[in-house]
Amino acid sequence: MKTRVLRMSDAALREACQILRGGDLVAFPTETVYGLGGLGLRSETVQKIFHVKGRPSTDPLILHLPSSDLGFAARGGIVAEPIPPFARLLAQKFWPGPLTLIVRKGHQVPVEVTSGLDTVAVRFPSHPDAQRLLKEIGQPLAAPSANRFGRISPTDASAVLQELDGKIPLILDGGSCSNGIESTVLSLTGANPLILRPGSISADRISRTLKVPVATRSSSNTPDLSAASPGMLAHHYAPQTPLYLCTSPIQNFESPYQYILYSPQQKPTSSRIQILAPDRQPSTAAQNLYRVLRQADAAEDSAILIDPIPDSPWTPALKDRLTRASAGTAEWREGKWSLLPRITG
């Protein structure tokens, strides 16, 4: 199959809708990462998404809604009635935007989307191309990140092509994703709101909106919850080149968000040190992270060393992705980096 890449236009939109209505898949930009989209209410299409991605069928998908109106989604059998008041509040406040809500599923959602769970993940993305596509198609698109399973999420069309060339007919090119890491996933099905995957919308902002505490699932404090979000594997966003988290700053540089492309044969000289966020903003670090990891991978160094992440509202999200991507930690000892493999249970 020839994979075409088209900038959004009236013609590209028509073509995308035709492909989707025909049951095939289209990769499209969102503000977080590119999605691999297909009609979310059609079982065969959803199965095709899992197949193309090489994703285990036990890892449920997000439905991208054509509007922020949860009442409309409930009438369409996407989410169950009654809609949790917290869901309404959060949709009002954060949609369109990088927040995914887990609520009880409606009767129209195929079991393939939710991997058999009685809950469904929904979000209304803010990228203008995603909105145009969703509005035109007028129904939910199931869309995981447009990478092959276990690999880094793509944040521009060329990265999608690298992942899925020949496997899908069309990639809508909407430029680089402004946000750069996947949406915050928040479960509203338990006693308290629970963050299953940290993202740019922090626990603190959600908590201030709902005026209740928001718990964060972390693999260390709630190992039993892995079944509640089957996709949250310890290793997930890994580059091929092993990545190590430095236990102390790389050098006494002023600038945060550094990383080194490292080969043990070479001294980690300052020319090997690169800056993830030249403006020192955590949002820029997030925006650049996956692109840089892809580049670092292509450079065929033997390791990527990442500076400790400074504190900011983005810290949980950045740490989450980097820890999942990591092979271990790097400690500066006796004038060189010692690489310590991560123990996973």
**Residue 145 near Mg ion by CB under 5 A:** yes
The interface partner of residue 117, options being ligand TXA, Mg ion, none and the CB cut-off 5 to 8 Å by kind, is ligand TXA
- In the complex, the smallest distance separating the C-beta of residue 241 from ligand TXA, rounded to whole angstroms, is 21
Q: What is the dihedral of CA 48, 52, 58, 60, to 10 degrees?
A: -70
Choose the binding region for Mg ion from 40-48, 58-66, 141-149, 305-313 (rule: CB under 5 A). Answer: 141-149
Tell me the C-alpha to C-alpha distance, in Å, between residue 233 and each of 88, 171, 189, 205, 321.
29, 27, 21, 25, 11
Angle at 43 between CA 9 and CA 74, to 5 degrees: 75
- Residue 1 carries which side chain, given as an amino acid letter? M
The interface partner of residue 59, options being ligand TXA, Mg ion, none and the CB cut-off 5 to 8 Å by kind, is ligand TXA
**Residue 60 near ligand TXA by CB under 6 A:** yes
Q: State the burial class of residue 340 (Cβ atoms within 10 Å of its Cβ: 0-12, 13-18, 19+).
A: middle
Tell me the C-alpha to C-alpha distance, in Å, between residue 145 and each of 28, 86, 231, 234, 254.
10, 26, 12, 17, 34
Choose which of 126, 200, 202, 229 interacts with ligand TXA (CB under 6 A): 229
Choose the binding region for ligand TXA from 95-103, 167-175, 258-266, 331-339 (rule: CB under 6 A). Answer: 95-103
Q: Which residue is nearest to ligand TXA (CB)?
A: 231
What gap in Å lies between CA 160 and CA 113, rounded to an integer? 22
Residue placing its CB nearer to ligand TXA in the complex, 145 or 258? 145
Site string for ligand TXA, 135-154 (x = CB under 6 A): --------xxx---------
Instruction: Decide: helix, strand or coil at residue 167.
Output: coil
**Residue 230 near ligand TXA by CB under 6 A:** yes
What gap in Å lies between CA 29 and CA 5, rounded to an integer? 12
- In the complex, the smallest distance separating the C-beta of residue 332 from Mg ion, rounded to whole angstroms, is 33
Residues numbered 32 to 51 that lie near ligand TXA (CB under 6 A) are: 32-33, 35
- In the complex, the smallest distance separating the C-beta of residue 148 from ligand TXA, rounded to whole angstroms, is 11
Angle at 28 between CA 167 and CA 91, to 5 degrees: 135
Residue placing its CB nearer to ligand TXA in the complex, 28 or 259? 28
Bond into 128 cis (ω within 30): no
Residue placing its CB nearer to ligand TXA in the complex, 55 or 301? 55
Helix axes 10-21, 128-137, angle to 10 degrees: 50
- In the complex, the smallest distance separating the C-beta of residue 33 from Mg ion, rounded to whole angstroms, is 7
Residues in contact with ligand TXA by the rule CB under 6 A: 30, 32-33, 35, 59-62, 98, 100, 102, 114, 117, 119-121, 125, 143-145, 182-183, 185, 196-197, 228-232
Residues in contact with Mg ion by the rule CB under 5 A: 145
